[in-house]
A and B are shown apart, each in its own frame.
Chain A
Amino acid sequence: MTDNRFFNRSELIGILVLAVFLVVVLPLTLDVFRLNLVAKYLTYAFVALGLVICWGYGGILSLGQGVFFGLGGYCMAMFLKLEASSVENTKIQSTPGIPDFMDWNQLTALPFFWKPFHSLTFTIAAIVLVPGIFALIIGTAMFKRRVGGTYFAIITQAVAAILTILIVGQQGYTGGINGMTDLRTLKGWDIRPDHAKIMLYFFEVGCLFVCIMIAQFVRHAKLGRILVAMREKEDRVRFSGYSVANFKIFAFSIAAMFAAIGGAMFALNVGFMSPSFVGIVPSIEMVIYTAVGGRLSILGAIYGTLLVNFAKTSLSETFPELWLFGLGGLFIAVVLAFPNGLAGIWSDYVQPRIDRLIASRKRKPDGWTDSSVADGAPAE
Chain B
Amino acid sequence: MLIGHQPKEFLLAVEALTVSFDGFKAVNDLSFYVDENEIRVIIGPNGAGKTTVLDLICGKTKATSGSIQFRGKELTRMKENEIVKAGVGRKFQNPSIYDDLTVFENLEISYPRGRSVFGALTFTRDAAVRDRVHEVAEMIFLKDKLNMSADLLSHGQKQWLEIGMLLIQDPDLLMLDEPVAGMSVSERAKTAELLNRIIKNRSVLVIEHDMKFVEDIAHKVTVLHQGQILSEGTMEKVQNDPKVIEVYLGH
Contacts and interface: CB of A to CB of B under 8 A. Distances in A.
B84 A235 contact: no
Interface string A202-246: 000000000000000110011101101100110111111111001
Interface string B117-152: 100111100000000000000000000000000000
A240 B114 contact: no
> What 8 A-B pairs are tightest by C-beta distance, nearest first?
A241-B84, A223-B120, A222-B123, A229-B98, A236-B96, A222-B120, A250-B117, A221-B121
B46 to A, nearest CB: 22
A6 interface: no
Contacts of B96: 233, 235-236
A339 to B, nearest CB: 13
Given A225-B105, A225-B109, A243-B81, A233 B98 contact: yes
B169 interface: yes
A44 to B, nearest CB: 26
A247 interface: yes
18 contacts: A221-B120, A221-B121, A221-B123, A222-B120, A228-B98, A228-B101, A233-B96, A236-B96, A236-B162, A238-B80, A239-B58, A239-B89, A240-B165, A240-B169, A241-B112, A241-B169, A243-B81, A247-B120
Contacts of B60: 235, 239
A346 B122 CA distance: 31
Most chain B beta-carbon contacts within 10 A, residue among A217, A222, A232, A235 = A222
B121 A223 contact: yes
B92 A235 contact: yes
Contacts of B122: 221
Contacts, number: 77
Given A235-B60, A236-B96, A246 B84 contact: no
B101 A229 contact: yes
Nearest to B165: A240
A243 B109 contact: no
Given A240-B84, A241-B169, A243-B81, A233 B97 contact: yes
Given A225-B101, A232-B100, A236-B165, 20 more contacts: A221-B120, A221-B123, A222-B108, A223-B120, A225-B105, A226-B109, A229-B98, A229-B101, A229-B106, A236-B92, A236-B98, A239-B80, A239-B90, A240-B169, A241-B84, A241-B85, A242-B81, A243-B81, A243-B116, A246-B116
Contacts of A232: 98-100
Contact of A237 (B99, B109, B123): B109
A226 B120 contact: yes
Contacts of A246: 116-117
Interface string A88-121: 0000000000000000000000000000000000
A274 B108 CA distance: 47
A239 B93 CA distance: 14
Most chain A beta-carbon contacts within 10 A, residue among B81, B106, B110, B112 = B81
A243 B79 contact: yes
B115 interface: yes
B109 A229 contact: yes
Contacts of B98: 228-229, 232-233, 236
A191 B162 CA distance: 58
Contacts of A217: 121
B132 to A, nearest CB: 14
Contacts of A233: 96-98
Contacts of A222: 108-109, 114, 120-121, 123
A218 B117 contact: no
A334 to B, nearest CB: 20
Contacts of A239: 58, 60, 80, 84, 89-90, 92
A192 to B, nearest CB: 40
Interface in A165-202: none
Interface string B49-80: 00000000010100000000000000000011
A247 B120 CA distance: 9
Contact of A240 (B101, B105, B110, B117): B110
A238 B99 CA distance: 16
